Amino acid sequence: MGKPNLGTNASSQAANEATTVDPIVVMQGVHKHFGKLHVLRGIDTNIMLGQVVVVCGPSGCGKSTMLRCINGLEPIDSGDIVVDGITVKNKKRLIELRTETGMVFQQFNLFPHKTVLENVVMAPIDVRKIPKKEAYDLGRKLLSRVGILEKEDDMPASLSGGQQQRVAIARGLAMNPKLMMFDEPTSALDPEMIKEVLDVMRDLAREGMTMIVVTHEMGFAREVADRIMMMDEGIIIEDRPPKDFFDCPEHDRTCQFLSQIISH
C-alpha cells in the first residue's frame, strides 16, 4: 500500500474514510503581517502523516514565513496551526513543538566551533536530556545514514556545502521529529552537491518521513512529492499531485512560474 496521498480541503471526505491517516499539520485561516505587509493571507491546508509536500512560488510570496510559523519561530496574527495536536498559540508548548519539527535551512546554520558529531548531539543532550553515550551513538548512526560518518570529528568549515547540509539534516533528525521542514536546502549548493543532498531527502521520504520542502528542484518534486503547492502573494493557489501540477495546472500564474524556473 502506498503512502497517503490526500489533498487539502477537498480531501476531507477521503481523510474521514482513511481512519488510519491523521493530519500531522492543520492550518486554518492563517494570517501573518510584518507591519503593514500582509504576508500570509489565509492559509488553509492539512498535511497528512507520511506525506511529502513540495512548496514553490515566487520570491517573497511567503514560503519561508509559512514554515517559520509552523514551528512557532514566527507568531501568527489569526487562524490556527496545530502540529501533532499542539497549537502554535500555546507558548508553553513551543519547545515541544520545535522538537517535533526538524528544520533545515539554505545556509546550513551549523555551529562553527563544534565538531560535526557535536553539532548533531547537542540538542538531544540539552533539550531531550538523552544520556551522552546514547546521544553519541545516535549521532553516529545518523551521520552514517546521511553518508558522512567519516567526518564526525571534523569542523564544519572543512566540509563541502553538500556535506554540511547532510550534517544539518542529521542534526534535524536527531531530535526524532515527526515532521521535517526544508527551506531551499540545495539552493546554496554547487550543482554537483545538489544530488547528494536530494538523495538523502529522497531516502527519508521513502522511509515515510513527513516532509515539507520549499524547493524549485522540480525533478525532485515530480519524483518524490505527494503534493506540490504553489504559493502566490501569501495564499496557496495550487495544491495537487505532481502529475496534475505539471500537466494541467489550474492557474496561469503557475504556468508562468513553471516556464520561468524550467527555462533556467
Ligand X SMILES: Nc1ncnc2c1ncn2[C@@H]1O[C@H](COP(=O)(O)OP(=O)(O)OP(=O)(O)O)[C@@H](O)[C@H]1O
- Name the residues that contact ligand X, by CB under 6 A: 34, 37, 39, 57, 59-65
Closer residue to ligand X in complex, CB, 209/214: 214
Q: Which stretch binds Mg ion (CB under 5 A): 3-11, 19-27, 61-69, 173-181?
A: 61-69
Q: What residue has cell string 522511509? A: 207
Q: How far is the CB of 106 from Mg ion (least distance, A)?
A: 8
Q: How far is the CB of 67 from ligand X (least distance, A)?
A: 8
Q: Which does 71 bind (CB under 5 to 8 A by kind): ligand X, Mg ion, none?
A: none
Q: Does 215 bind Mg ion (CB under 5 A)?
A: no
Which SS3 state, helix, strand or coil, does residue 59 take? Answer: coil
Residue 9: phi and psi, rounded to 5, are: -55, -45
Nearest by Cα to 26 from 51, 1, 3, 2: 51
Q: Which does 62 bind (CB under 5 to 8 A by kind): ligand X, Mg ion, none?
A: ligand X
Q: How far is the CB of 233 from ligand X (least distance, A)?
A: 10
Closer residue to ligand X in complex, CB, 74/96: 74
Taking the C-alpha atoms of residue 198 and residue 185, their distance in angstroms, rounded to an integer, is: 9
Closer residue to Mg ion in complex, CB, 64/164: 64
Q: Does 64 bind Mg ion (CB under 5 A)?
A: yes
Closer residue to ligand X in complex, CB, 151/216: 216
Q: What residue has cell string 490556527? A: 80
Closer residue to Mg ion in complex, CB, 185/249: 185
Q: Does 65 bind Mg ion (CB under 5 A)?
A: no
CA atoms within 13 A on the CB side of 13: 1
Determine the distance from the C-alpha atom of residue 147 to the mean position of all C-alpha atoms in its chain, rounded to a whole number.
20
End-to-end Cα distance, the chain: 37
Taking the C-alpha atoms of residue 48 and residue 24, their distance in angstroms, rounded to an integer, is: 5
- Orientation of helix 191-206 relative to helix 161-173, angle to 10°: 20
Q: Which does 39 bind (CB under 5 to 8 A by kind): Mg ion, ligand X, none?
A: ligand X
Q: How far is the CB of 183 from Mg ion (least distance, A)?
A: 6
Residue of minimal Cβ distance to Mg ion: 64
Q: How far is the CB of 28 from ligand X (least distance, A)?
A: 19
All residues at 6 or more sequence positions from 163 whose CB lies less than 8 Å from its CB, including other chains: 148, 151, 193
